């Protein structure tokens, strides 16, 4: 029996260790890519002030003319594929700008912008697990942390170097993902700071607080950087890389934790212990319900900004979005003004006020609620209503306090 799956484009990222010659070649390529991008952006900006538009084909002709000049003859020393890809990326940036999906493109900075170069099939050779880029005689020494899909061939290869000095190669391949079998299980998720997520099942997953664990190390590295004279000195560059390594450590640990958490929520594996016998229970959630949190507004609170940023709720949501799409699950997003914490899940009463320091509260009906668990259960109920019958996410019951419909009340302020 053949199993059909979804054909998706997936990027497989690996770390590699270039030789001195390869590192020098890639550094030259990064500089040329940045130069071509900035020159093309400048040309298109000048044309924009004259109420003219310059497309990709025109910038490609400009690149050919630039290579023939004496000042820019060094552009011929690197592969032409990353330079053409830089022009294509600029075209996409302008397309998003004209479509009102992004701001006007900005110039690339030598110190702040991401150092990367993209190669298409004509700019690399991939044979028997060995990747060789254009203008290079030896293949890259890649640390294969996981295998590529069987029989997969990269369509594009992106080489990058982060601020900590680490080298990465990302290969875009076509992969087949088999959707998980349908199930009736559903879970509601309430995001928080003390508990990163609270599930409607009553389980609370603690917030690892990766930034707090490395805060002292980060502060020490930043103090050392502040003592160095500003400029391009070697000591300042070394201190800058030390700060970047601490940031990279925090980001890597956070990303790893979120990947494991979101995969568990979509395809959950639980270990159940019964009479000293450990068995493996596979419990997959067909529907995942979350809140539409406005992280951009939350970080304006200076008392919570660092904790909210460290929680990375936006990254968790984006991971849930594409993983539920991969495995045939449903992700329901509840309105940000839904009073999940203040709403009694038993009688429907909406509490007038519920400060953040109140973690448990007793309703007029006598039910004692854990703030986060009650919110997760209400989020699940509202999400199932949206998924099944298309109802609104706000309860249509009357509040015992006001006697008015909850739909007519002023939307309460979202509390984490």
Are the CB atoms for 191 and 148 separated by under 8 Å? no
DSSP reduced 3-state for 310: helix
What's the confidence (pLDDT) of residue 304?
A: 86
DSSP reduced 3-state for 321: helix
Distance (Å, whole) CA 36 – CA 74: 12
Active-site residue, selected from the candidate residues 25, 118, 190, 211: 190
DSSP reduced 3-state for 150: coil
Instruction: Determine the average pLDDT of the residues in 197-204.
Output: 90
**β-pair type (287-291, 330-334):** parallel
Q: Is residue 73 over pLDDT 70?
A: yes
Q: Helices 234-266 & 215-227, crossing angle to 10 degrees?
A: 160
Q: What is the pLDDT of residues 37-68, one digit of tens each?
A: 999 999 999 998 998 889 999 999 999 999 99
Distance (Å, whole) CA 239 – CA 218: 11
Point out which residues pair with 2 in neighbouring strands: none
Cα within 13 Å of Cα(103), Cβ side:
2
Distance (Å, whole) CA 180 – CA 385: 23
190 in catalytic set: yes
Burial class (CB in 10 A: 0-12, 13-18, 19+), 21: exposed
Are the CB atoms for 29 and 78 separated by under 8 Å? yes
Distance (Å, whole) CA 254 – CA 235: 29
Distance (Å, whole) CA 167 – CA 144: 13
What's the confidence (pLDDT) of residue 295?
A: 86
Are the CB atoms for 22 and 136 separated by under 8 Å? yes
Q: What region does 62 belong to: left with phi over 0, alpha with psi -120 to 50, or beta?
A: alpha
What's the confidence (pLDDT) of residue 4?
A: 58
174 in catalytic set: no
Are the CB atoms for 379 and 188 separated by under 8 Å? yes
Place of tokens 């660092």: 306
Q: What is the pLDDT of residues 205-214, one digit of tens each?
A: 999 999 999 9
Distances (CA, A) of 156 to 136, 159, 404: 17, 10, 58
Q: Is residue 218 over pLDDT 50?
A: yes
Instruction: Determine the average pLDDT of the residues in 267-293.
Output: 57
Point out which residues pair with 11 in neighbouring strands: 172
Task: Give the number of other CB atoms < 10 A from CB of residue 137.
Answer: 8
Q: Is residue 180 over pLDDT 90?
A: no
Instruction: Determine the average pLDDT of the residues in 258-267.
Output: 90
Alpha helices in 275-370 (DSSP H): 295-298, 305-311, 313-326
Are the CB atoms for 291 and 340 separated by under 8 Å? yes
Active-site residue, selected from the candidate residues 20, 128, 150, 275: 275
Task: Give the number of other CB atoms < 10 A from CB of residue 283.
Answer: 14
Percent above pLDDT 90 for the chain: 54
Global pTM value: 0.81
Active-site residue, selected from the candidate residues 25, 291, 310, 372: 372
Are the CB atoms for 349 and 401 separated by under 8 Å? yes
Distance (Å, whole) CA 414 – CA 292: 10
77 in catalytic set: no
DSSP reduced 3-state for 69: coil
Q: What are phi and psi of 187, to 5 degrees?
A: -145, 140
Q: What region does 403 belong to: left with phi over 0, alpha with psi -120 to 50, or beta?
A: left
């Amino acid at each position: 029996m053949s199993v059909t799956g979804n054909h998706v484009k997936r990027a497989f990222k690996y770390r590699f260790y270039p030789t001195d010659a390869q590192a020098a070649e890639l550094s030259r390529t990064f500089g040329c890519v940045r130069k071509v991008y900035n020159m093309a952006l400048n040309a298109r900006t000048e044309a924009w002030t004259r109420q003219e538009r310059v497309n990709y084909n025109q910038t490609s002709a400009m690149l050919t003319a630039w290579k023939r000049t004496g000042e820019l003859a060094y552009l011929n020393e690197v592969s032409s594929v990353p330079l053409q890809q830089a022009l294509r990326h600029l075209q996409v940036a302008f397309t998003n700008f004209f479509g009102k999906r992004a701001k006007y493109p900005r110039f690339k900075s030598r110190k702040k912008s991401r150092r990367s170069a993209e190669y298409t099939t004509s700019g690399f050779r991939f044979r028997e697990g060995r990747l060789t880029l254009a203008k290079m005689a030896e293949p890259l020494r890649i640390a294969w942390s996981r295998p590529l899909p069987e029989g997969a061939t990269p369509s594009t290869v992106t080489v990058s170097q982060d601020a900590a000095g680490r080298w990465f190669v990302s290969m875009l391949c076509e992969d087949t993902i088999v959707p998980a079998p349908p199930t009736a299980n559903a879970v509601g998720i309430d995001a928080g700071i003390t508990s990163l997520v609270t599930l409607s099942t009553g389980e609370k997953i603690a917030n690892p607080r990766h930034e707090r664990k490395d805060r002292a190390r980060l502060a020490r590295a930043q103090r050392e950087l502040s003592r160095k004279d500003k400029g391009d000195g070697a000591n300042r560059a070394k201190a800058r890389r030390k700060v970047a390594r601490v940031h990279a450590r925090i980001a890597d640990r956070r990303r790893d934790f979120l990947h494991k958490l979101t995969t568990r929520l979509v395809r959950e594996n639980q270990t159940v212990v019964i009479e000293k016998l450990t068995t493996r229970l596979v419990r997959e959630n067909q529907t995942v319900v979350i809140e539409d949190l406005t992280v951009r507004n939350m970080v304006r609170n200076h008392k919570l900004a660092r904790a909210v940023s460290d929680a990375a709720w936006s990254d968790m949501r984006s991971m849930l979005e594409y993983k539920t799409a991969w495995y045939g699950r449903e992700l329901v997003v509840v309105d940000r003004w839904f009073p999940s914490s203040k709403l009694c899940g038993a009688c429907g009463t909406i509490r007038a006020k519920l400060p953040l320091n109140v973690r448990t509260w007793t309703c007029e009906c006598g039910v004692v609620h854990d703030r986060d668990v009650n919110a997760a259960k209400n989020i699940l109920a509202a999400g199932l209503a949206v998924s099944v019958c298309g109802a609104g996410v706000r309860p249509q019951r009357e509040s015992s306090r006001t006697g008015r419909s909850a739909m007519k009340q002023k939307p309460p302020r979202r509390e984490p």
